[in-house]
Amino acid sequence: MSDNQNLLAEQRRALILDEVRRRGGVRVNELTRKLSVSDMTVRRDLDALARQGLVEKVHGGAVPVSEPSAHEPGFEAKSGLELSAKEDIAKAAAEMAAPGSAIALAGGTTAFALAQQLLEVPDLTVVTNSVRVADVFYTAQRAAASGGTGPRAGAATVVLTGGVRTPSDTLVGPVADAAIRSLHFDVLFLGVHGISVEAGLSTPNLAEAETNRHFVRSARRVVVVADHTKWGTVGLSSFATLDQVDVLVTDAGLPAGARAEFAELPPELVVAGEQPEDADI
């Protein structure tokens, strides 16, 4: 990491976070040299990362936050994180939804961003267990109706599974599982709490893990939408291996080491928001 004084704050913080996670901790003076920025700039970046709960500040630097594998942050806690990355991922993933297809859209803030992009894809049948995702489509339909135009031509048909609501506003449990088991999807778009070579896809919620297993089994094609911060995170329960994933759509913050690992793995890697000349690792 050198000659980075012109990086945007978000890019710089992604580099800092990668360094913290890779090395298990960094010192301020090391970051000032590597990033070619001032001590004050690094401290502001560390403050911002600490407020997001991504690092823990210690005297002279920062260390990774050790999160219990069963800890499940709520939707609001996650909704403000990695906004530009989620937008890039959503735009890239939306191109994989063919008009007239039947898709499944599981819960999470990246899926929520994707739902907004899918409003322009005609004649979709969308099955979701996310209250937030369903509301994106319902709100669009209400807005069209209030304008006196009635249902928008080609608007999505949305099926919301029942179930027990999680902190992420996702419906899980036997009712959701039964609904999903009876259906078949062209594509599943799946957000995750964590992704790693060893644990595959994981979540801190046991019931959500079971519901996600049914989603994966019912889909012809599985597309995981996950920003770079999910790489290396492991939740309490694994629900799919990486060889069950067809495509991983992530953002340009994915570290070079993770990209090298993915080159040896079955899923296709799509790095959203990255210029072709930046893709070399």
pLDDT at 143 exceeding the cut of 50: yes
Residues 235 and 185 in one domain: yes
User: How does strand 247-251 pair with strand 164-165?
Assistant: unpaired
Residues 140 and 51 in one domain: no
One-letter identity of residue 73: P
pTM of the model as a whole: 0.71
Look up the domain containing 233 and give its range: 73-270
Residues 95 and 42 in one domain: no
SS3 of residue 15 by DSSP: helix
29/249: higher pLDDT: 249
CATH number of the domain that residue 248 is part of: 3.40.50.1360
Give the Cα separation of 139 and 131 in Å (integer).
12
Give the Cα separation of 35 and 16 in Å (integer).
9
46/146: higher pLDDT: 46
Mean pLDDT of 248-255: 91
| Percent of the chain predicted with pLDDT > 90 | 49
11/122: higher pLDDT: 122
Cα dihedral sign, 189-194-198-204: negative
Mean pLDDT of 213-236: 93
Residues 108 and 14 in one domain: no
Residue 226 · residue 200 · CB < 8 Å: no
> Binning pLDDT at 50, 70 and 90, where does residue 76 land?
very low
User: How does strand 222-225 pair with strand 187-191?
Assistant: parallel
Return phi, psi of residue 150, to 5°. 75, -170
- Mean of pLDDT over the chain: 85
Residues 80 and 169 in one domain: yes
Query: What pLDDT score does 5 carry?
Result: 45
Residues 41 and 159 in one domain: no
pLDDT at 11 exceeding the cut of 60: yes
> Which range has the worst mean pLDDT, 65-79, 116-130, 196-210, 229-243?
65-79
SS3 of residue 56 by DSSP: strand
* Total number of domains constituting the chain: 2
Return phi, psi of residue 212, to 5°. -65, -35
Residue 11 in domain:
yes
Residues 23 and 126 in one domain: no
Give the Cα separation of 78 and 55 in Å (integer).
15
